[in-house]
């Protein structure tokens, strides 16, 4: 369904474009901000189902509309409307205009006249109205001089429209930097390919043909280049030219799940668009490091076909680079409303983010770990953002962190023995004083890592009724914020659980202090 806010934007943009050649084209914008509508982008009078653009002063207070208006509905139907329920004088005036313009019909019982346009190209019809009908109406107003209908002055236009125009320009400026991109579906948190399940059902689509999409490694932290950047691919920036070379965007990522719902999954800020030459150079580095072979094996393990057009084209294999410090992965994906005007197409296009997202505020759905039961039951009926819980059973970055942390601890003077455990706790180490420390490694943000690790590491240490370790340490890549640190302090003081958190930087080979 089309969103009325999108129509507001397109009409305002169209009128501002017309004003470049005709600065005396004045129109009435929304005057008050009732229900915050003006802040939300309802630039003109109307509601969620229609809008009315007026080019003259004068209103019918009984009908609560302008006396003369150009109407557009959410279905993109449009018409001219003359309304004079509150004035017999205006009714006589409109009868004169109707005879001069032609094509109008009168309401059966009201002093209202309509001229409908055929088709849904409302901007074309508005253009026709401004070129043909508006000059006739202007002429009639000057000729008959109706008391309650008169032209908009320049001062009035400036008074009511300047803020709205500034708001729209700010939206468009933001849309130059903040972009929205659709990425392929992946239930492994875009760390590695997840297989054909949930992918596009279009038999002609790339991911259906080859069994994977090239965004599947978007958050693979195991592949960071020497310059500190992760090189990746997003289909909306897959262009024949280097049009966006060296541009920097904030990419808001969404995907479409197996239920055909749109999910907002995260944000990558300060994304740099790279050239085809840069892509070829990075492609060669991936080959030299064996990363390309790893990716090929991951695709084939999921019964995909690696020898695809993009996989065999070094110059287009990558099109962006970013640093993981600029990545915000959502703990729970957020359902977007079906009528969000930012998402003007479901195709893999680079879209401007001009307004805030319209979230689906239905009761939250809780998705069970068992993906066979994809849709969960309603937990409660409180209004909130609808979210999708994400689980990832294995992340190759986990093994990289585990090996690196093991080496780091072995080189430290704090421990006399360090062991990697394959089936239980990730790493256990005994201090010089003979005290056991257990390390549980996760590859999520600090809060989510603690949530996932706490039950596991407590079981490893205390089940069934013993104390194997005196200190429990959760490790991830993410530096904790103040809230996470306060949470850990409360766990230790209130429940007397000896759990700490550390973050590990693989590139710098740095393990933080305890938090």
Distance CA 107, CA 75 (A): 22
- Give DSSP secondary structure letters for 412-436: SSSEEEEEE-SSS-SEEEEETTS-E
- Per-residue CA distances from 377 to 118, 337, 362, 373, 380 (Å): 45, 19, 12, 10, 9
* Enclosing H/E stretch for 266: strand 262-273
**Are residues 286 and 292 in contact, defined by beta-carbon separation less than 8 angstroms?**
yes
**Are residues 185 and 170 in contact, defined by beta-carbon separation less than 8 angstroms?**
no
Whether the pTM exceeds 0.75: the reply is no
pLDDT tens, residue order, the chain (515 aa): 357 888 999 999 999 999 999 999 999 999 888 888 888 899 999 999 999 999 999 999 999 999 999 999 999 999 999 999 999 999 999 999 999 999 999 999 999 999 999 999 999 999 999 999 999 999 999 999 998 999 999 999 999 899 899 999 988 888 889 999 999 999 999 999 999 988 888 888 899 999 999 999 999 999 999 999 999 999 999 998 889 999 999 999 999 998 889 999 999 999 999 999 999 999 999 999 999 999 999 999 999 999 988 999 999 999 999 999 999 999 889 999 887 888 988 899 999 998 888 887 553 333 334 434 333 344 443 444 556 555 555 667 888 999 999 999 999 889 999 999 766 899 999 999 999 999 999 999 999 999 999 999 999 999 999 999 999 999 999 999 999 999 999 999 999 999 999 999 998 999 999 99
> Domains in the chain and their CATH numbers?
4-176 (no CATH), 183-335 (no CATH), 396-511 (3.40.1350)
319 burial (CB, 10 Å; 0-12 / 13-18 / 19+) is: buried
Per the structure block, which two tokens stand in for 185? 């579906």
Q: Rounded to the nearest 5°, which phi and psi values hold at 366?
A: -100, 120
For the chain, the distance separating the N- and C-terminal CA atoms, rounded to the nearest angstrom, is 49
Distance CA 468, CA 462 (A): 6
Strand (E) positions, 48-159?
A: 50-53, 56-57, 59-60, 65-66, 68-73, 78-83, 105-106, 112-116, 150-151
Is beta strand 471-476 parallel, antiparallel or unpaired with respect to 178-182? Answer: unpaired
């Amino acid at each position: 369904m089309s969103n009325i806010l999108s129509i507001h934007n397109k009409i305002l943009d169209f009128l501002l474009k017309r004003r470049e050649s005709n600065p005396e084209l004045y129109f009435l914008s929304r005057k008050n901000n009732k229900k915050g509508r003006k802040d939300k982008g309802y630039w003109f009078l109307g509601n969620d189902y229609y809008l009315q653009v007026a080019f003259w002063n004068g209103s019918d207070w009984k009908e609560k509309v302008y006396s003369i208006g150009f109407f557009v509905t959410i279905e993109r139907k449009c018409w001219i409307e003359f309304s004079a329920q509150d004035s017999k004088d205006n009714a006589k005036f409109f009868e004169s205009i109707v005879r001069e313009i032609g094509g109008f019909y009168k309401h059966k019982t009201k002093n209202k006249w309509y001229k409908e346009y055929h088709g849904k190209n409302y901007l074309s019809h508005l253009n026709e109205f401004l070129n043909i009908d508006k000059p006739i109406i202007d002429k009639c107003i000057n000729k008959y001089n109706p008391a309650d209908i008169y032209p908009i002055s320049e001062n009035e236009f400036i008074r009511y429209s300047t803020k709205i125009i500034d708001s729209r320009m700010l939206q468009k400026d933001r849309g130059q930097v903040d972009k929205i991109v659709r990425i392929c579906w992946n239930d492994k948190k875009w760390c590695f390919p997840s297989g054909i399940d949930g992918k596009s059902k279009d038999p002609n689509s790339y991911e259906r043909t080859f069994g994977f999409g090239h965004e599947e490694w978007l958050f693979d932290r195991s592949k960071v280049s020497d310059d500190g950047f992760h090189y990746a691919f997003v289909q909306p920036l897959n262009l024949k030219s280097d049009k966006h070379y060296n541009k920097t965007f904030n990419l808001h990522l969404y995907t479409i799940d197996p239920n055909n719902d749109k999910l907002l999954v995260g944000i990558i800020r300060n994304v740099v668009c790279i050239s085809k030459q840069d892509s070829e150079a990075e492609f060669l580095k991936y080959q030299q490091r064996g990363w390309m072979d790893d990716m090929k094996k991951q695709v084939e393990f999921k019964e995909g076909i690696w020898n695809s057009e993009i996989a065999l084209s070094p110059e287009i294999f990558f099109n962006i680079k970013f640093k993981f410090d600029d990545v915000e992965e959502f703990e729970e994906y957020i359902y977007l409303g079906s009528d969000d005007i930012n998402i003007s197409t479901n195709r893999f296009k680079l879209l401007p983010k001009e307004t805030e997202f319209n979230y689906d505020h239905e009761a939250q759905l809780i998705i069970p770990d068992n993906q066979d039961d994809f849709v969960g039951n309603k937990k409660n009926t409180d209004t909130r953002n609808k979210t999708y819980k994400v689980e990832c059973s294995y992340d190759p970055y986990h093994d990289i962190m585990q090996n690196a942390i093991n080496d780091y601890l072995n080189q430290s003077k704090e421990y006399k023995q360090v062991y990697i455990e394959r089936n239980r706790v990730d790493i256990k180490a005994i201090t010089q004083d003979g005290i056991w420390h257990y390390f549980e490694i996760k590859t999520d943000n600090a809060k989510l890592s603690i949530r996932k690790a706490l039950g596991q590491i407590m079981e490893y240490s205390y089940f069934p009724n013993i104390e194997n370790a005196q200190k429990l340490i959760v490790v991830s890549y993410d530096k904790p914020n103040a809230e996470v640190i306060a949470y850990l302090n409360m766990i230790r003081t209130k429940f007397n659980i000896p759990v700490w958190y550390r973050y590990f930087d693989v590139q710098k080979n740095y393990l933080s202090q305890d938090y």
